[in-house]
Amino acid sequence: MARAEDTDVNRRRFLKGVAVAGAGTAAAVLPQVAQAQPAPAAQKAASPTAAQRTAETSKPVPTEPGLAPSCGSDFMVDVMKAVGIDYVFSNTAQSFAPLQESVVNYANNQAPEFITCMHEESSVGMAHGYAKASGKAAAIFCHATVGTQHAAMAIYNAYCDRVPVIAFLGNQIDATTRGNATEWRHAAQDPAAFVRDFTKWDDQPITLQHFAESLVRGHQMAMTPPMSPVCISTDFVLQSEPLHEREKLKIPKITPISPPAGDLASVREVARLLVAANSPVIMAGHLARTPAGMKLLVELAELLNAPVIDQGDRQNFPNTHYLNQGADGQKLIRGADVVLGLELTDLWGAVNTFVEHEAGLPKTKAGAKIIGISANDLLAKANYQSFQRYPGVDMMIVGDGEATLPLLIESVKSALTADRKNVIAARADGFRKAHAAAYEASRQAVTLGWDASPISTGRMCMELYEQIKNDDWALVSVGSSESFMGNWPHRLWHFEHHHQYLGVSGGGGVGYGLPAAVGAALANKGTGRISVNLQCDGDFMYAPGALWTAAHHRIPLLTVMHNNRAYAQETMWVQHAATKRGRGVDRTKIGTEINDPPIDFAKLAQSFGVYAEGPIADPAKLGPALQRAVAVVRKGLPALVDVVTQMR
């Protein structure tokens, strides 16, 4: 595609350089060789590509930090700084080498700092965890073609989990600049097409001013609820070209984000229904985007003495609060006269029982009012079915839950009469008792199999809690579901702060756990907080390289392996199918066990330079091992303890 800008003299000079470099055989291989070499010492720039070297003969090479911007990618970094991007998670690649060079030299590898990743899926997973822990958008760089393909599943997770990730896709738009076969294979006409079904927006800017406007817009879109990944195709030539008249380029004003919220009339009606209800139930999914969301939900629940069922997508509500009634959730829904679903992924499933091929059965009693408040519909796309079943409820407010809560709280306050206040106050006692009883039941239940080997998930979780409970701790990842470890953390640990739990993968794409934990732990680095990752073995093996990233960047993170030596969930399903068909279960371990040979996760971690112990199958040895590992994390380094566990 010829473009008008190609007549620019300097660009032509640069393009000529690329063509010359591309013609030589050494130049064609060099980028790959550079990538295959062992990573240089921490935070040092990678060798420039042949194309860059040639290009740079015509302009000064920035070797010192604090230089004036001299090339397109320097300006790109200025824009990244302006929108507040602190880190770039990336597996290095030629198509964005000039931009990477600007990060490490021009920006002096600070805000943004380049985080060395070993797979694009890990880059996005880390960005995903970082964004949730920091409350900021996180960036990745990847090749537009092969990199985006590697990154795709993790982008889908981030999309389903409503997380702002900005993916810069290194591309080479102008065909006449592609000097060799690989550069052709690594270029795309529309690279974001591959992930467009599960990103909010994308662009392919062709000038630097266009880039500035795209990134500021993309950042704003990513951060506006419902938050989502966005992509910016980042042209190699645009990155490489010398920068003239920097002062003519303008970074647009960064507008504060005002999320979509429910309208006054609808919110008042919701408040009226809630105040009038005798057995209201509140359910929360992706609600608390920030610590404020958690406080608001506590305020609303207390005003109404309404039980809260926290679905585990974020830490929406303290589990120590007497209104946290997840343990009795199903019973409460059946008895509810009003159910308020706040940012639920699956509102239909929350209040209906699934019946194959049929419409399903309402769980709630006749006449119960079901209300949804969620921004989900604003992000719905047709292809991937993550938008879930049509809920068919009594009221649906399409607006962000957290942003709607202040108005809802005010409306509830105005609707409360003295009579209703008395009725509502009388509800508290029963919930206090139920909350205490549920906790005590879990405390009793966790002793079942206490001394078993393999170690029970309850024992693993409680030995871990014992080591961290007096610290400022955060359970930064449990992978795809906390039920994989018996939900023990939320049954028995004390979650009182928003940062103590970040939710799950969103899309259920395996391979999220470890990278997300590393990214979140990076956000917690320097705060003295102990970041803890409960890590399933199957998930770990998708992206073990993420642990090397933690070692390389000295990221304090305790990874506790829930090593049940199987894809346990699938073991159950294959077992289910075989049993149902009466064909015997002996072979259901084929393809589901990870046991022959058993993986030695401690050795694997040690080979990355990570402190590690295990495998530990004797429960009596677990506490001391965890204590030693936590001591390493307190010093600011990663550590791993491999626990041989029961299936769940």
What type of residue is 12? R
Q: Is 563 in the site for other proteins (CB under 8 A)?
A: no
Q: Which residues have a Cβ under 8 Å from the Cβ of 350 and sit 6 or more positions away?
A: 283, 311, 333, 339, 341, 344
Residue 92 interacting partner from other proteins, ligand HEC, none (CB closer than 5 to 8 Å by kind): none
Q: Which is nearer to other proteins, 213 or 593 (CB)?
A: 593
Residue 211 interacting partner from other proteins, ligand HEC, none (CB closer than 5 to 8 Å by kind): none
Rule CB under 6 A: which residues touch ligand HEC?
572, 575-576
Residue 64 interacting partner from ligand HEC, other proteins, none (CB closer than 5 to 8 Å by kind): none
**From the CB of 322, what's the least distance to other proteins, in Å?**
8
Q: Is 67 in the site for other proteins (CB under 8 A)?
A: no
Question: What is the spatial distance between Cα 519 and Cα 477, in angstroms, rounded to a whole number?
Answer: 10
User: Residue 310, SS3?
Assistant: strand
Contact set for other proteins, span 483-512 (CB under 8 A): 483-487, 492, 494, 496
Stretch that binds other proteins, among 69-77, 122-130, 519-527, 565-573 (CB under 8 A): 565-573
- φ/ψ (deg, to 5) at 309: -110, 110
Among 263, 440, 472, 618, binds other proteins (CB under 8 A): 440
Question: What is the spatial distance between Cα 644 and Cα 454, in angstroms, rounded to a whole number?
Answer: 6
Residue 533: DSSP 8-state:
E
Q: DSSP string covering 179-244, please?
A: -SHHHHHT--SSGGGGGGGG-SEEE---SHHHHHHHHHHHHHHHHSSSP--EEEEEEHHHHHSBP-
Which of 120, 235, 80, 230 minimizes the C-alpha distance to 166? 230
Q: Which is nearer to ligand HEC, 416 or 445 (CB)?
A: 445
Stretch that binds other proteins, among 263-271, 291-299, 477-485, 522-530 (CB under 8 A): 477-485
Residue 463 interacting partner from other proteins, ligand HEC, none (CB closer than 5 to 8 Å by kind): other proteins
Reported for 103-109, long-range contacts at CB under 8 A and 24+ positions apart, including other chains, are: 103/77, 104/43, 104/44, 104/45, 105/45, 105/62, 105/63, 105/64, 105/65, 105/67, 106/62, 106/65, 106/67, 106/69, 106/70, 106/73, 106/74, 106/77, 107/65, 107/77, 107/81, 108/65, 108/66, 109/43
**From the CB of 583, what's the least distance to ligand HEC, in Å?**
14
Question: What is the spatial distance between Cα 557 and Cα 134, in angstroms, rounded to a whole number?
Answer: 16
Q: Is 364 in the site for other proteins (CB under 8 A)?
A: no
Among 176, 579, 595, 627, binds other proteins (CB under 8 A): 579
Question: What is the spatial distance between Cα 45 and Cα 54, in angstroms, rounded to a whole number?
Answer: 18
Among 580, 590, 596, 597, binds other proteins (CB under 8 A): 580
Stretch that binds other proteins, among 45-53, 361-369, 383-391, 581-589 (CB under 8 A): 581-589
Stretch that binds other proteins, among 133-141, 520-528, 580-588, 599-607 (CB under 8 A): 580-588
**From the CB of 96, what's the least distance to other proteins, in Å?**
41
Question: What is the spatial distance between Cα 415 and Cα 284, in angstroms, rounded to a whole number?
Answer: 22
Q: Which is nearer to ligand HEC, 73 or 480 (CB)?
A: 480
Q: Give, rounded to a whole angstrom, the gap between the first and last alpha carbons of the chain.
A: 55
**From the CB of 593, what's the least distance to other proteins, in Å?**
10
Burial of 275 (0-12, 13-18, 19+ CB in 10 A): buried
> Site map for other proteins, 609-628, x if CB under 8 A?
--------------x-----
In the numeric block, which tokens belong to residue 589?
A: 């371990």
Among 383, 385, 422, 444, binds other proteins (CB under 8 A): 444
Q: Which is nearer to ligand HEC, 134 or 575 (CB)?
A: 575
Q: Is 524 in the site for other proteins (CB under 8 A)?
A: no
Among 146, 378, 572, 594, binds other proteins (CB under 8 A): 572
C-alpha torsion 383→384→386→392, nearest 10: 30
Q: Cis omega (within 30 of 0) on the bond before 615?
A: yes
Tally of CB atoms within 10 A around 356 = 5
Contact predicate 151/140, CB 8 Å:
yes
Question: What is the spatial distance between Cα 231 and Cα 216, in angstroms, rounded to a whole number?
Answer: 12
Q: Is 587 in the site for other proteins (CB under 8 A)?
A: no
> Site map for other proteins, 89-128, x if CB under 8 A?
----------------------------------------
- φ/ψ (deg, to 5) at 477: -155, 145
Q: Is 575 in the site for other proteins (CB under 8 A)?
A: yes
Q: Is 458 in the site for other proteins (CB under 8 A)?
A: yes
Among 250, 582, 590, 596, binds other proteins (CB under 8 A): 582
Q: Is 357 in the site for other proteins (CB under 8 A)?
A: no
Contact set for other proteins, span 273-332 (CB under 8 A): 320
**From the CB of 565, what's the least distance to ligand HEC, in Å?**
17
Binding interface with other proteins (CB under 8 A) = 320, 354, 435-436, 438-440, 443-450, 452, 454, 456-458, 462-463, 465-466, 470, 481-487, 492, 494, 496, 566, 568, 571-572, 575-580, 582-586, 588, 623, 646-648
